[in-house]
């Protein structure tokens, strides 16, 4: 399995027979400048979207159309993306699980907000979410944009993810200290990858503190377009 950071909250996850794009933000993403955008999305089999904010949804329709990859997200967001021309995948709800080849993807809660600009106005796009991915003997928790929430207790207990991808930049989401707290209290990660940081000056720029707080966890600071093989 390869986990490839596309900067910010965007990932390419090569797992089982799937190439999954999670919130792929390419155009205007400062972290992707100078990198091969075509390689980032090549061979995509499915696109999963956590919520509607521009830094997660701007490129979804274009990437879906160019790759032929279906899009799946919470009901309201998925339906809007389909109406804009995205290839139809699943418009499902929290707690729901979809099967993508030999990979299972489950929609789980987050605490944030979700909207898209429609006709010049911010429009509600259903609840913000995260994902649980299961394949190749791994269970991955992708938090999406979120603060600390009590739901993490049952997510950790019920799904028992061994890999965490946590938003940790602060300001819009929990920060590194918050990510360390939830990793200690709610989860038993073997590997932890922070995201939604370094993109802008107001976000945290290093995960050194996260690594120091979790000496028994393999905290990996991702580098854009460099595969983390697990």
- From first to last of its 230 residues, the chain has per-residue pLDDT tens of 999 999 999 999 999 999 999 999 999 999 999 999 999 999 999 999 999 999 999 999 999 999 999 999 999 999 999 999 999 999 999 999 999 999 999 999 999 999 998 888 899 999 999 999 999 999 999 999 999 999 999 999 999 999 999 999 999 999 999 999 999 999 999 999 999 999 999 999 999 999 999 999 999 999 999 999 99
CATH label of the domain that carries residue 20? 3.60.15.10
pLDDT of residue 14: 98
The verdict on residue 227 lying in a domain is no
Q: In this structure, are residues 146 and 173 in contact, taking their beta carbons and an 8 Å threshold? A: yes
Determine the Cα angle at 22 with ends 17 and 28, to 5°: 135
Q: In 104-170, which residue ranges form alpha helices assigned H by DSSP?
A: 151-159
The verdict on residue 202 lying in a domain is yes
The verdict on residue 6 lying in a domain is yes
The verdict on residue 230 lying in a domain is no
Model's pTM, two decimal places? 0.97
Strand partners of residue 13: 3, 20
137 burial (CB, 10 Å; 0-12 / 13-18 / 19+) is: exposed
209: its two tokens: 């503190």
pLDDT of residue 37: 96
Number of structural domains, the chain? 1
The verdict on residue 165 lying in a domain is yes
The verdict on residue 229 lying in a domain is no
Domain that holds residue 147: 2-222
């Amino acid at each position: 399995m390869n986990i490839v950071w596309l900067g910010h909250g965007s990932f390419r996850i090569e797992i089982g027979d799937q190439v999954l794009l999670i919130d792929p933000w390419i155009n205007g993403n400062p972290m992707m400048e100078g990198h091969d955008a075509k390689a980032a999305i090549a061979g995509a089999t499915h696109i999963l979207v956590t919520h509607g904010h521009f830094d997660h949804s701007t490129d979804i329709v274009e990437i879906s159309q160019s790759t032929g990859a279906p899009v799946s997200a919470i009901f309201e967001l998925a339906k809007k993306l389909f109406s804009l021309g995205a290839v139809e995948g699943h418009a499902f709800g929290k707690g729901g699980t979809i099967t993508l080849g030999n990979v299972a993807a489950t929609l789980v809660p987050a605490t944030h907000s979700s909207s898209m600009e429609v006709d010049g106005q911010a429009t509600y796009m259903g609840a913000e979410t995260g994902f649980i991915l299961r394949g190749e003997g791994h269970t991955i928790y992708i938090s999406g944009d979120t603060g600390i929430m009590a739901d993490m207790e049952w997510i950790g207990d019920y799904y028992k993810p061994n890999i965490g991808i946590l938003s940790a930049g602060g300001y819009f989401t929990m920060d590194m200290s918050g990510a360390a707290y939830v990793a200690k209290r709610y989860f038993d990660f073997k590997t932890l990858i922070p995201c939604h940081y370094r993109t802008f000056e107001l976000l945290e720029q290093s995960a050194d503190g996260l690594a120091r707080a979790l000496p028994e966890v393999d905290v990996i600071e991702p580098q854009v377009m460099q595969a983390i093989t697990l």
